Each structure stands twice: as C-alpha cells, then as structure tokens.
Structure 1
Amino acid sequence: MAVYVYTVVDRTHPQRLDGLPGVGDPPTTLRTVDSEKLSAVVSDAPEELRPKRRDLAAHHAVQERLMGDGTVLPLQFGFITTDDDAVRAVLEERTEWFLERLRALEGCVEYNLKAGQDQSALLRQILRDSEEARRLNDEIRGGREDPQLPFTLGELVAGEVRDRQGRTAETIVDSLRGFAREEHASQSAGDDFLNASFLVEQGKEKSFLAAEQELAKGLGSDYDLRLRGPLAPYSFV
C-alpha cells in the first residue's frame, strides 16, 4: 500500500506519536520505518489526499510534536511513495545526507519573511528622483500624442522598480544574515519583492526578532514586512 511520509529523524529521537492522528478521513495511524541510523514517520496514504485544513493541521502537528523532543527533517505536505520498503531504501541510500542535514538543523527553527512596498509611494519616489521619468510623465499628462511615450515611461519605471526593490531586498537579507545559520530565497509573488527564510538557532531568536523589528521601523510605513515563525525548517531540507 502507498505510504505517506511526514518526517525523518535520528533513530535515537523519542518519536512520541501517541494520540496523534495521521492525514486522511478517517485519520490514518502513524508508525515508523527504521534503518540502522534513521527513522521515518509514516502512515498509510489516503486514496484521495488534498491540502484540506484538517490534513494540513495533522501534518504540521506531527512536526511540532517531534520538534519538541529533538531535531526533525520535515517533509512538505503530500509526500507519498510506494511502500515501507521504498522508504527504508531511501533512508539507507541517503543516510549520510540525512545525518548532515539533521546536524545542520539541530537546535534551529525557521522564520519566513515576506516584504512588499506600497506601489503608489514607490512611483512617487521614482518620479521624484528620476528627471527622465518626470519629463516623460509631464509630456503624457500634457497631452502629447506620441504612442511611444507610455511604453518608454513604463519600461523606465519597471527597471527602476526592479533595481530599487532588488537593492532593498539585499539590504534586508544582509541585515538579518548575521543572526541565521542559513538562509533560503524563494520566488516572491504578487506585490512582494522578497520571500526569504532564515534558519535561526533558538538561542538567537530574540536577537533575530529584534533586528527584524528595527529593520521594519527603519524602512518606514511604505513597506510591509510580514514575519512568520517559529516554523519547522521545511525550507532547509
């Protein structure tokens, strides 16, 4: 039967799974698949699995329970393989990689930071700072009938947005890098220009959070910084 995999831990991890339901409706039963040095927490895979609230909550509850007792390698929701033997084979084939990752994540949690900027405020900045952008904008508003003008202005503004937000993203990451063991950049979406995760040692969490708050204060109200955490370190597996 197909197997749903939640996480990988060291064999010495307590693996307290009592009372925890697995994914599926009705909930599946959690169990472990062991190799010489590692254990994978698994359950039978439901026939139809979708990221519903109950199943997402069950998946994350496993990570949170195990994180309370030691280091885990949390897999993203929805990881399914053929059977227990396939799970055991991967544990045995990639033992050293799993052990290295467990050492890297020991005593750490993940914080995810997304950043956006008010687009109207950004456009005002560009028009204030760029003489060429002001000239093109004034010509368009003045009624000059040249179909190339809006295109030229749009290209100029788009380039300025990329450059300015790219520099701001670098500044943000640079300001927080010293408080993290590792960092991971993901594709930003919508109006966000930054989507970055930081692997933070639990003893440095207060310093990291204080630095992020100071950074947000320094950037001002035109910026929207949204920090989530502490999380299981999904981005670093």
Structure 2
Amino acid sequence: MSDQRGLFIYGIVPSDVEPSPDVPGVGDPPGSVTVVRHGPVAVLVSEVAPDAALGRPADLTTYQMLLDGTAAVAPVLPVRFGTVVAGPDAAIELLDAHADRFAAVLDEFEGRIQYVVHGRYEESALIRRVLDDNPAAAELADQVRGRPEEVTREQRIRLGEFIGRAVELRREAESRQLIDLLATLAVSTANRPPSHELDAVNVAFLVDADREDEFVDAVEEFAEQRRDLVRMRLLGPLAPYDFASAHQVTG
C-alpha cells in the first residue's frame, strides 16, 4: 500500500472474518475492502486518498451497507463514520491498544442485531385527536377556521403550542408502551431523538437473532393497533450502531 494513502475504517470484527471479494469501499474511485488482523480481532478497511472528501451520501450508504451486511454473518463494532488512519501499522496499533475491550464487545454482539422502530403521526389524524381530547384547543381551532392569518395570529400560536405539547406527551407514552411491549424480546434499547416534529416513536433495539421473528411479530402488532394514527416503519436488521457509542472508536 502506498504511504500516501490512508485507510478508511468501517468496523472491528473477529479475526476470522473475510470480506467478500471486490466489495467496493467509500471514495471516488472506491477502494476494495480488505481486513487488517491482530490477534483475535481485525478491522475492515479500504484505501482512500489523503485529500478524499468523504462526506457524500453515497459514501455513508456504502459504509452502512458494508456494516449491515457484515452484521448479518458476524459480530461487528461500527467505527465512527469518517475515521481514517495513516496505514496498516496505525490500524494494528489501534487494535493492539484496545484488543481485550474489542474482543469483549464482539462477544457481547455475537448473535445479535439491531432494529429501529420508527413511527410518525399522520398530521390530520393527530390534530383531530388533539381537538377531540382538548376543548380549549378545539375552541382555538374554531376561532381561526376560515379567518385570515393576520387577525388570528395569537390564536394560531396558542393552537400550535397545544398541538406541540400533545405530540410530546403522546411520544413519551408511545415510546414507553413500545419499550415495555418489547422488553422481554430485546437485549437492550436506546431512545433516539425525534427526526421530525411529528415523530411518534424512534427507538433502537438490540435483538437476539433467534428471537427475531417474535420481535418482528410484536412490532407488527403494535403498528396495527395504531395504523389509523401512526405510519410505522421497522428498519433492520442493522449493525449495532446505537449500542456501539459506549465503545466508540475515533481513530
């Protein structure tokens, strides 16, 4: 490998992991993904130019696809996106400095995958619920209905505050109910911040692979009970991004 090229690091894996031949890495043009081994652990890497701009959406997609594909067959500890080291020697130094910790984390992730349950309220259905449940909000809605914005500005602001607070309270309740429902089916949970003001739930779960079907069935039941109010999505299986932060590697 050229001394002028760095190594982009994707994740820490057991030393017996072999990347598929010709898997493309990040960058333009992309380098092939290879592995640097040290004792019981290894790191998935690809060469990048020293001046490479590694912030494109395509690069993030490549990074995620590689880690998600790896997590389907072996434990993986994701490394923060954008981490680049000087070369193989620097990668080995990283592994050597944290070998025991990395091995312990990989043992923890063995046979486990991440899912994310994300739900967003249908705005019109949510507003109907808020107005049905709150006479004060319903009265404000009547005051602004069909009237110019400039003469109902104060009422609109107050109505928006009612709706915003209602979303926060419902989000807290929905997230608690979801976590309680899945508590026996998940090893760990991580609440994610809302990605949108109308988010109902956004929770990551670390799941034993042998309970995956039970977990998915339970999420589908949760979603069905709320289908008139919340658009639910189940994302996964994924690499354990939300459970790697305590062991984060920055290079």
Relative to the length of structure 2, the TM-score reads 0.80
d(CA) in 2 for partners of 1:226, 1:7? 26
d(CA) in 2 for partners of 1:166, 1:70? 34
d(CA) in 1 for partners of 2:127, 2:29? 53
- Number of the residue aligned with 2:247: none
2:37 counterpart of 1:34: yes
- From 111, 114, 134, the equivalent of 2:115 is 111
Alpha-carbon deviation of 1:100?
2.3
- Number of the residue aligned with 1:196: 203
For 1:55-74, list aligned pairs within 5 A: 55=59, 58-60=62-64, 62-63=66-67, 66-67=70-71, 69-74=73-78
2:129 counterpart of 1:150: no
| Residues 120, 40 of structure 1: alpha-carbon distance in 2 compared, 3 angstrom cutoff | same
- Number of the residue aligned with 1:5: 9
Alpha-carbon deviation of 1:152?
2.9
Structure 2 runs not aligned, ≥5 long: 245-251
- From 210, 221, 226, the equivalent of 2:228 is 221
- Cα-Cα RMSD: 2.6
- Number of the residue aligned with 2:26: 23
- From 128, 131, 138, the equivalent of 2:142 is 138
d(CA) in 2 for partners of 1:15, 1:88? 17
d(CA) in 1 for partners of 2:139, 2:163? 13
**Higher mean displacement: 134-143 or 190-199:** 134-143
d(CA) in 2 for partners of 1:64, 1:137? 46
- From 157, 181, 185, the equivalent of 1:179 is 185
- Number of the residue aligned with 1:205: 212
Alpha-carbon deviation of 1:140?
4.2
Q: Given residue 221 of structure 2, which amino acid in structure 1 is its aligned partner?
A: E
- Confirm or deny: 8 A CA contact 2:200 2:230 kept in the other structure: no
Q: Given residue 42 of structure 1, which amino acid in structure 2 is its aligned partner?
A: V
SS of corresponding position for 1:211: helix
- Number of the residue aligned with 2:56: 51
- Number of the residue aligned with 2:169: 163
Q: How many residues align?
A: 234
1:192-227 Cα deviation digits (max 9, x unpaired): 232221111111011001001111111132210011
Q: Given residue 123 of structure 2, which amino acid in structure 1 is its aligned partner?
A: Q
1:22-55 Cα deviation digits (max 9, x unpaired): 33344323333233332112121234234354x5
d(CA) in 2 for partners of 1:139, 1:69? 59
- Confirm or deny: 8 A CA contact 2:19 2:33 kept in the other structure: no
d(CA) in 2 for partners of 1:126, 1:109? 37
